[in-house]
Structure 1
Amino acid sequence: MARRRGNSSGGTILLILFGALAAVVSAVYRFAVENAEAIGVVALICALIATPFLIARVTSTKRADPTGVRPPLPDTVLRTRASGAPSTRVERPSPARWIRSGETVKFGRAELSGGMFYYGDWLPLAESATRQYAINPKLPASGLADVEGSSMPYWPSYADISPGARRAFLDWMAGGRRDPSYGIGLVFIFLYGLEHRLFLEGGDDAHLIVREVERLLAIYGANNSFHGYASNFLDFARLAQGERVEVSALSPERRGGSEMDLQTRLYLGDRLAEAPALSAEDALRWVLGMPDTYLRTPAVRCFDEFVALWRLRFDRIYPAGLPVNGKDRISLRYRAASGSFDVAIRGPHEQHIDVTRVTRPLPGLQKLVTDCTDELDSFSRFVGRKPSARNSMAAAKLLPTDLQQSTTAGAIADFRQRVEAVMGDYGRGSSTAQILLEMAGIEVPADGKISTASADELGRALDSIGVAIEPDRRYGSSVPRADEQVFVFRAANGGPVDPARASFRAVRAQVEVAVLAAAADGDASYEELQRTIARIRSATDLSGVEQARLIAFAVTTFNNPPKQARVMRKLAETTEGERQAIADAAIAVIGGSGNVDAGEVKFLERLHKSLGLPKERVYTGLHSAAARQADDPVPVSGEDRAIGVPLPKETPSPIPPAIAARGISIDAARLARTRRDTEAVSALLSDIFAEDVVQPQQAPPEQAALDGLDGPHTELVELLELRGSMTRTEFDRHAKEMRLLPDGAIERINDWSFDRFDEALIEDGDEVVVTPHLRGKIAEMKDEAA
Structure 2
Amino acid sequence: MPQPASRTARSAVKLQGWVRQGERITIAGREFEGMVYVGTPPRMNSHGYGEKCRAYIDPSLSVASSDSDRNGDGMSYWPGYSTIPAVCRATYLDWLEGGRRDATVNPGYMFLFFYGLERRFLVDQPPEEEKKEIVAEVERLKALFAQNYSVQRYLGEFLDIARIVAMGGMPLDDPALKQSILDNRSWDLPFSLKFALGRMIAESKAFDAEWLHLWLMCHPERRLRTPAERCGEEFKALFKLKFDALYPDGLKVRTPRKQLAMNYRAASSEFSCSVNLTAGEGRDVAVPDVSDLRSPIQKAQKIADESMDELDKFSRYLGRNADGRGSIEAQALLPAALWGLFPSAELQELKKWVREQVAAGGLVPALEIVSRMEGSSPDKLGKRQLTGAADALARIGFGMAPDPRFSLRGPRIDEPVVIFDLAETVEQLEVVSAAYRAALFELALATFVAHSDSKIVEAERRALRDKVEATVGITDLERKRLHANLKWYLEVPPDMSWLRTRLKEVDAEHHLALRAAVVATAHADSVIQSEEVACIEKIYKALGIDAGLVYADLHAGEVPDGPVRVRAAEAEAPGERIPAEPKARVGSLDAARIAAIRTDTERVSNVLGEIFAADDDANHDAPRTHALLSALAGLDHRHAALVDLLVQRGNWTQEEFAGIAGQQGLLPSGALEAINEWAFEKFDEALLDEYDGYDVSQDIAEALRAEMSKGDN
Q: TM-score, normalised by structure 2?
A: 0.46
Determine which structure has more spread, i.e. the larger CA radius of gyration: 1
